[in-house]
Amino acid sequence: MNIVVVGGGWAGCAAAMQAAKQGGNVTLLERTDMLLGTGLVGGIFRNNGRFTAAEEAISLGGGEMFAAMDANAVHRDIAFPGHAHASLYDVTAMEPVVRKMLRNAGVEIHFTTRIIDVEMEGQRVNAVVTGKGSGAVRYAGDAFIDTTGTAGVPNSCNKYGNGCSMCILRCHTFGIRVSVAARAGAKEMVGRKNDRYGAMSGACILMKHSLAPEIIQILERDGVAMVPLPESPDNAVEKLEGKCCQQYALPEYSRNLILLDTGHVKLMTTNFPIEQLREVTGFANARYEDPISGGIGNSIRYVGMTPRDNMLRADGIDNLFVAGEKAGLLVGHTEAVVTGVLAGYNAVQSAAGADLLVLPESLAIGDAIAHVRESMRTEEGLGSKFTFSGAGYFQRMRQRGLYTTDVEAIRNRVTAAGLTNVFSGRTRSLSPPVASVRRSSAASARVG
């Protein structure tokens, strides 16, 4: 079973791992030179309902990525406005860890490999390709997973944002995001609120050593620092409106600079003019790490989401699965990982002709997947973002009794659903063809 995953963000990494665990012969294609996508600059997990979702995934047997984040956390169980029991992984050290894990699991990773087209046969994808002319490489597969995210493309950053702010996605170096699902004929949706399309990321990264030593000290001790802003209500209002995540639309975020220690320093705002930033005590020499032009803007996301069912199969395409931001207005690493695991599982099931899995709504993960699908059909839904950690969806989790930090209770919930370790995969020894298939497959050949 050849499974081809396109896009190596958290969703793609989780999907590739899951598919490999189930004996799939997995190829992961990433257009840049690193895995994790926007996960290279985030770092917050286990905050609010993300704790519950992570523990559900662990009980379901698909907890590898969370184990890796936990092992690489620089702070655990910290609080900042609106958020409890958060962990922060070290964004500077996470990528090599995941790369190694995937390689150990037998995933074949190809970097600087940007897919720009698909070969279809009726409602099925036969192969994805890197180009049209000679030199184009084609990757054939039995099932495909589109985890290309929703960030960029430069035209969107220009049209809906403040232009390219040179973020970690580095479109001008590696070429722009191309949606496999769209190329396969999916009618994609765009997140929008009023006349505003897409949304900016809700955080920037500052170079730690560009800040005053007192601030670094607090950050390294507590994981969080809140620095009050001098009065300037006008720009605060604009910042709040441009926010990607309603979860950060609290007054604290406009009156203070909220900083988190994620190896570098995460500044909880979409962007902040560097001149103004440098007027704040302790920030006289502040410099952005990502986006490099964080004083001007941030990348635009939520353009290009794929309609899909609750098995995460793209509508109208039999063997294409989607996860992460691609699968809806789902914001976050945790959200990308849990949907990635399900997409990876169902891709292998589909290639094997076996039953596909829908997670029940008694689990937060199942409920979120179904709820986001429903919500995206409405105008209001397209104007919202969904995350286990805040805003509307976290409230829903609490109302439905889905939010808890009681690990035992979460385990019992998964047991009651009859799904304990459903994602634990077949052991490698039970799938003898894997090693030999991999060598001959490579599933890739030169075209043209």
Partner 1 sequence: MPLKIVDDCTSCDACVPVCPNEAISPGDVIYIIDADKCTECVGTDSDPQCVSVCPVDSIIPDPERQEPREALQAKYERLHADGCD
Of residues 165, 334, 339, 346, which one binds ligand SF4 by CB under 6 A?
A: 165
Give the residue with the Cβ less far from ligand SF4, 63 or 152.
152
* Span of 54-62, 72-80, 328-336, 411-419 interacting with ligand FAD by CB under 6 A: 328-336
The reply to whether 57 sits near ligand SF4 by the rule CB under 6 A is: no
Cα–Cα–Cα angle for 339, 266, 28, rounded to 5 degrees: 35
Shortest Cβ 86–ligand SF4 spacing (Å): 25
Q: Determine the interface stretch with ligand SF4 among 149-157, 223-231, 279-287, 402-410 (rule: CB under 6 A).
A: 149-157
Rounded CA separation 168/37 (Å): 7
Question: In sequence order, what DSSP letters do the residues of 366-398 get, joined into one string?
Answer: HHHHHHHHHHTTSHHHHT--BBTTBHHHHHHHH
* Interaction of residue 8 with ligand FAD, rule CB under 6 A: yes
Smallest separation (angstroms) from partner 1 to the CB of 303? 10
- Taking residues 106 to 145 in sequence order and writing x for each that binds partner 1 by CB under 8 A, - otherwise, the string is ----------xx-------------xx-------------
- Is residue 402 a contact residue for ligand SF4 (CB under 6 A)? no
Stretch of 41-49, 83-91, 174-182, 364-372 contacting partner 1, by CB under 8 A? 174-182
Size of the site for ligand FAD (CB under 6 A): 39
* 149 interacts with ligand FAD by CB under 6 A: yes
For binding to ligand FAD (CB under 6 A), which residues are involved?
A: 6-12, 29-32, 37-39, 41-45, 114-115, 147-149, 151, 169, 177-178, 201, 203, 299, 324-326, 331-334, 336
Binding residues (CB under 8 A) for partner 1: these are 116-117, 131-132, 153-155, 158-159, 164, 171-172, 175-176, 178
